[in-house]
Structure 1
Amino acid sequence: MKRRTFRAEGARAVVEAVAFELGLPVEQARGLVEVGAVYVAGRRCRDSKARLTPGQVVAVVLEEGGQSSLAEAPAAPTFRVLHEDADVLAVDKPAGLNAQPTEARVGASLVDQVSGYLGREAGLVHRLDRETSGVTVFGKTPQATSALAAEFREGRARKRYVAATGPGLPESGTVDLPLSKDPSRPGRWRASRAANGVPALTHFRTLYAGPEFCVVELLPQTGRTHQLRAHLTALGAPILGDSRYGG
């Protein structure tokens, strides 16, 4: 797989810019946009009529032969449907699967698989880390997606996680430590009052405590990036197998 990247030189439709920069017929460029192979400013763009602004970075993900990798038949879904009605789809995301597509892994995400299952763009309401398995909710209509997203954004959705951690956790407790990016370790967050961070609050209850590991129930009251991973590390009991946070 390779990627072609360019900057928009003027205010034109994304399909026109892709066709011009790659030397393709407009219909072929439109196909690349519609299958999700085009990213504008780091975000996937499926609207061929979307207008670019001068200087915006556009990336097109291609196979070595020049075709979008998404033109191939999609892989069999790895998720399990837990609930589905006219408005909502809840699935069990397996560990090791990205929730959303990235430029480096086009087509290999839960959103891609659910979109294929529905036959249209899936409305992801919330995200789980790549290493995390569990319930992930999608809206099947724009109205349902907006309403569900508001539930999560405004803290009305209740979230519960179970993790295996290092030993030494108390029976229960609350971690009230702000999170900030760790300047010494890119991609990692730290839980500390020493730096200006975003508020983060986690309640926990230890379900099993052994000499080598614990099993803990986690009830996050805020939804910060890597919140549970950073909070457990701050307690001295990182999630087992989480090499980024010392587990």
Structure 2
Amino acid sequence: MKRRTFRVETVHAGHPLGEVLAGVLGLPREEVERLVGVGAVYVGGRRSRDAAVRLTPEQVVTVVLEEGGQSPLAAASTPRLEPRILHEDDRLLAVDKPAGMTAQPTEGRVGDSLVDWVGAHLQRPAGLVHRLDRETSGVTLFGKTPEATAALAEEFREGHARKRYLAAVGPVPLPAQGFIDLPLSKDPSRPGRWRATRAANGIPALTSYRVLFTGSDFLLVELLPQTGRTHQLRAHLTALGAPILGDSRYGGAPRAGGLAAPRCLLHARTLELAHPRTRAPVRFEAPVPEDLARFFSAAGLPAPSGAIPAAEPPGGQ
């Protein structure tokens, strides 16, 4: 991330934020106002969306100029992604998050995250219960009341929420099914990555998996995570030598079998848990997106749906 931070000097005190930024950054006033508008400017540690606000001495101003290798202005000009509503009632909202959409507003941008979209849909804030990585698609759940959000969050915290993910991975031999019990820790040599290994003092992470298709160019796998750690599935598959196709951060190939993998081909297909009001079991399922569906079509295989199978006990992998 590239940013510029400065402290407001006496000569700038009382002047509008946009005017000061244009002078300090050497940018046209119009460009500065766009940076403010997309949420890339912070004054005193708080995001500022008003270029006319007047500054006071010693305030710290931070401008995010680049995030993820891309200017916030360029990112804001890309087509807006539209989630799909899978289910909505008085207590919860289940949506299908498209790949490429962040779950929450990032430091350099606001307005185009899933949280922003849901807030606009409901005309009020909602409680995000769990998060998917930006490139991961699929079922994401929101509570519509504080009580519902707390009940849903407890389902995840206590391990009662059951999840099915689907992924396309590199063509390496894998047992037909297995159970991955490898702790996760941040990779000190590669910022932004997690490593799955017993050689470090990591946090417990458990994943049951089943191979759905084995071909000469790629495999299709069903993943049933028993814990919900950051990058768990991506790191676990990489530890098996089978990174997810399109996952450049973990070494996944950009294509296989003549098919493109334009992003990390991981999809949150199914989620099962207790409804926060009735406590009855409910299931939400997100259609397989086109980029991953092409691999299922090439394999001549329908994507798994319906009830999530019981996870295999430890002892396989």
Matching residue within 154, 159, 175 for 1:155: 159
Instruction: Give CA deviations for 1:167-206 in whole Å, capped at 9, x if unaligned.
Output: 1222100110000000000000000000100000000000
Alpha-carbon offset, residue 102 of structure 1: 1.2
Matching residue within 58, 64, 68 for 2:45: 58
Match in the other structure for 1:192: 197
Q: Is the 8 A contact 1:4 1:60 kept in 2?
A: no
Q: Secondary structure at the match of 1:169?
A: coil
How is 1:68-79 mapped onto 2 (pairs within 5 angstroms)?
A: 78-79=82-83
Question: Which segments of 5 or more consecutive residues in structure 1 lack a partner in the other structure?
Answer: 8-19, 25-34, 41-56, 70-74
Q: Distance in 2 between matches of 1:156 and 1:202?
A: 15
Alpha-carbon offset, residue 60 of structure 1: 2.0
Alpha-carbon offset, residue 153 of structure 1: 1.0
Alpha-carbon offset, residue 162 of structure 1: 0.2
| Cα root mean square deviation, aligned | 3.1
Matching residue within 123, 128, 140 for 2:127: 123
Give the counterpart letter for 1:78 in structure 2.
E
Q: Distance in 2 between matches of 1:147 and 1:21?
A: 48
Q: Distance in 2 between matches of 1:144 and 1:80?
A: 21
Q: Is the 8 A contact 1:160 1:217 kept in 2?
A: yes
How is 1:1-247 mapped onto 2 (pairs within 5 angstroms)?
A: 58-62=45-49, 65-66=51-52, 78-167=82-171, 168-247=173-252
- State the structure with more CA Rg: 2
Q: Is the 8 A contact 1:207 1:214 kept in 2?
A: yes
Alpha-carbon offset, residue 36 of structure 1: 11
Alpha-carbon offset, residue 39 of structure 1: 9.8
Q: Is the 8 A contact 1:38 1:58 kept in 2?
A: no
Question: Which segments of 5 or more consecutive residues in structure 2 lack a partner in the other structure?
Answer: 8-12, 18-36, 54-71, 73-78, 253-317
Q: Distance in 1 between matches of 2:6 and 2:83?
A: 35
Aligned residue pair count: 203
Seen in structure 2, the aligned counterparts of structure 1 residues 197 and 23 have a Cα distance that, compared at 3 Å, is same
Q: Is the 8 A contact 1:165 1:240 kept in 2?
A: yes
Q: Secondary structure at the match of 1:160?
A: strand
Q: Is the 8 A contact 1:4 1:62 kept in 2?
A: no
Alpha-carbon offset, residue 154 of structure 1: 1.0
Q: Distance in 1 between matches of 2:228 and 2:14?
A: 40
Q: Secondary structure at the match of 1:148?
A: helix
Q: Is the 8 A contact 1:88 1:137 kept in 2?
A: yes
Seen in structure 2, the aligned counterparts of structure 1 residues 118 and 182 have a Cα distance that, compared at 3 Å, is same
Seen in structure 2, the aligned counterparts of structure 1 residues 211 and 95 have a Cα distance that, compared at 3 Å, is same
Q: Is the 8 A contact 1:6 1:58 kept in 2?
A: no
Give the counterpart letter for 2:225 in structure 1.
P
Q: Secondary structure at the match of 2:163?
A: coil
Q: TM-score, normalised by structure 1?
A: 0.74
Q: TM-score, normalised by structure 2?
A: 0.58
Q: Distance in 2 between matches of 1:165 and 1:147?
A: 35
Q: Is the 8 A contact 2:39 2:109 kept in 1?
A: no
Q: Is the 8 A contact 1:88 1:139 kept in 2?
A: yes
Seen in structure 2, the aligned counterparts of structure 1 residues 127 and 174 have a Cα distance that, compared at 3 Å, is same
Instruction: Give CA deviations for 1:50-80 in whole Å, capped at 9, x if unaligned.
Output: xxxxxxx6132447x558x9xxxxx866000
Q: Is the 8 A contact 2:16 2:52 kept in 1?
A: no
Q: Distance in 2 between matches of 1:237 and 1:138?
A: 32
